[in-house]
Structure 1
């Protein structure tokens, strides 16, 4: 009697979903009773029996667990059903895990496999984090391009008085920026330091120092240098 029953249960034809359903109906187990045994909702059991595995809101590893739980609840060996499910649903052949290890993740070989094994909510969270990081990076790059460049002038001080015919301008500028003094292009060092001697004449001289970036704003610093004759300079002293 037991041998006849064993042969009967191995004769269920078709896809794994049809075999599971036939096995349940053969044993006279209702979906409600099966749901109680497996802790799987009736709605999800109906989807499994209809081979609508894509409608289950779970990662593949949990779907495999459902197949094992379904078979065990009917006192069936889950290995053949799990093997058939993997063969039918997986585009790439996979090693059949033992029932005790069905909840373990296999090591992902590609980014696509990694995302496919994540629950939907976690997958969306990871995607949003990646998208946020990209947007943040682009925002910082655009802001860096559009914001005015750094410019610091050490000497001369505004209102500097001298009797010479030249004045030394020293300072530092953002290394990606171009530097101009009274419209003349001035070269600076790789670290942004600059040192330039500019001719001046008697009277008030206006020195306009400008830092420009290719697509950004301009930073300016204006210094006034007063050049006095030797006689005027002596009187001031």
Structure 2
């Protein structure tokens, strides 16, 4: 049975080789011309035409050479590949066994006990989670916001007050929901008009993806109070 199979493969190889060589000669082409046109080494073309498939690269490369050469000659490539595929796939380089062993041989790391490998994996994941958590926390944490004027809640007779403070340079500041310009160092100052009675001043700082930092100041205005004598209350 094995002998019959070998003869069948040899017959297929002979058929493929004969069709390639016959087609080339019928077109009055030299092997060197075909090699130049297909950019395939002339030794491989000679192997294809003479049935020496063991000289071809194994597997896909050998099949591609056969396909390209057949298409160049105008021969049905799919049929020839079907006939030759078992023979091309059967040949292996002499050092293929050694190469395979080197590839599949477990490395020192892979030969470690599963418990140790598991500990390495857990440690690596933990480090990544901690790092990403710190980065994420830095992004969403609210920016610093310090109000230096007024330093505390006030009782005054004035009709306006300067709200002054500092935040982080990349933060945006609003006072009572109105945007305020900040300097390169995060400094800002904005005059706010006051009305008689209790005024609530809400100062908010926020970076692009962060939470808000909010400071509220309460200013009580009495128009009968001297304009030059603001007092701290509460």
Is TM-score (shorter-chain normalized) higher than 0.5? no
Q: What TM-score bracket applies, with the shorter chain setting the length?
A: 0.3 to 0.5
TM-score, normalised relative to structure 2: 0.43
